[in-house]
Amino acid sequence: MSGKKRKKKVVRVEPTTENEDGAHDTGWEPTTEAKQKATRLRMFAAVLWLLAIAGEAFAIFWVLRQDPINLWLLVVLIVLIGALAIGGSLLWKQANRLDPATKKDKVRFFVQNQLGAIITVIAFVPLIVLIFLSKDLGGKEKAVAGGVGVAVFLIASFFGVSFDSPSTEQYDAETQQVIELTGENLVFWTKHGSVFHLCEDASAVNLESEDDQIYSGTVADAHADGMDRLTLQIDQEIRQCGLDGGTTEETDTPEPNTTFSE
């Protein structure tokens, strides 16, 4: 829909940094609020991961030493360890989106973004190996416990791996791109979206949403509010926002297969 048909309310997000333009001599920096939230999320993630490793230790040093071994208790523990590992990884990824690492330090960048997968390996591999090596478990019991262990490990590893890791360089490039295209560090998004946009007339932010509001703020504000990146529909939004010298009334509605992903 065009800007004339838009009925959504535009809400300006209060800047959480002293420098509202988001420009820094050293590149992009997280907002104070985002950094604090990231710290809290990492603390919660660490607690969940510690509980997962504690569950592994309990399974290794108590459950596997019982005679007979309680197979179903072992299976429940494996599932619980997986849930804790996944929960920690999701919180850690959210923290990395709020306060990403820099690619300049390759070791830290890798560890910070793949820590969920590393913790998952620590929480599962020793237990799975000991299950298959156990002399107190029969063949069928090993197949059940080991099979569940491998399956849960693979699922937890999937959630632990960061396939498209955020970086300060990405955020800095987005900020500079937005400024170059629009003349200011101001973007727009919806509460349940995953990307931010160049103007309030962009069709993607005018789709029906739960709270029927469009939020605006700096690139830093958008990331702090949970947005992953700048939209990929740049050319389309340049036309819709009148940044090509035209007017927003002459724009087309985006194709359905790309609109809903925004």
Residues 41, 120, single domain; the answer is yes
What is the pLDDT, as a whole number, of residue 24?
A: 42
Backbone dihedral angles phi then psi of residue 229, each to the nearest 5 degrees: -165, 175
Same domain (yes/no): 227, 254? yes
Same domain, yes or no, for 102 and 176?
no
In a domain, 14, yes or no: no
Q: Is 125 contained in some domain?
A: yes
Looking at the fold, whether 189 and 149 belong to one and the same domain comes out as: no
pLDDT, the chain, mean = 85
- Pairing, β 195-196 against β 229-230: parallel
**Residue 182, pLDDT score:** 92
132-173 confidence digits (pLDDT tens): 999 999 999 999 999 999 999 999 999 999 988 889 999 999
Query: In this predicted model, what pLDDT tens digit does every residue of 33-56 receive, in sequence order?
Result: 889 999 999 999 999 999 999 999
Domain membership of residue 107 (yes or no) is yes
Q: Are residues 141 and 173 in the same domain?
A: no
Task: Indicate whether 210 and 235 sit together in one domain.
Answer: yes
Is residue 177 domain-shared with residue 142, that is, in the same domain?
Answer: no
Confidence of residue 79 (pLDDT cuts 50, 70, 90): very high
The predicted model scores a pTM of 0.78
Same domain assignment for residues 66 and 145: yes
Q: Is residue 100 included in any domain, yes or no?
A: yes
Identify the domain boundary among 107, 138, 160. 160
What span, in angstroms and rounded, lies between the C-alpha atoms of 93 and 114?
A: 9
- Asked if pLDDT for residue 58 goes beyond 50, the answer is yes
The number of domains in the chain is: 2
Residues 180 and 245 in one domain: yes
Percent of the chain past pLDDT 90, that is, above it, reads 61
Q: Which whole-number Å values give the CA distances from 24 to 29, 198, 223, 226, in the listed order?
A: 7, 21, 17, 22
Per-residue model confidence (pLDDT) at position 227: 85
In this structure, is residue 3 part of a structural domain? no
Mean pLDDT of 187-204: 90
194 shares a domain with 130: no
In this structure, of 40-49, 50-59, 99-108, 240-249, the range with the lowest mean pLDDT score is 240-249
SS3 assignment, position 34: helix
Please determine, for residue 16, whether its predicted confidence score (pLDDT) is greater than 60: no
- Rounded distance between C-alpha atoms, residue 228 and residue 6, angstroms: 24
CB 237 within 8 A of CB 178: no
pLDDT at 181 over 80: yes
What does DSSP say about strands 195-196 and 9-12: parallel, antiparallel, or unpaired?
Answer: unpaired
Give the Cα separation of 100 and 112 in Å (integer). 9
Same-domain status, 60 and 137: yes
In a domain, residue 194? The reply is yes
Question: What pLDDT is attached to residue 258?
Answer: 39
Are residues 76 and 109 located together in one domain of the fold?
yes
Print the domain residue range for 72: 32-160
Distance CA 114, CA 89 (A): 9
For residue 27, is it within any domain? Answer: no
pLDDT in tens, 212-233: 788 998 888 888 787 888 999 9
Residue 197 has pLDDT above 70, yes or no: yes
Report residue 261's pLDDT band, with 50, 70 and 90 as the boundaries: very low
First to last CA, the chain: 15
pLDDT for the residue 30: 83
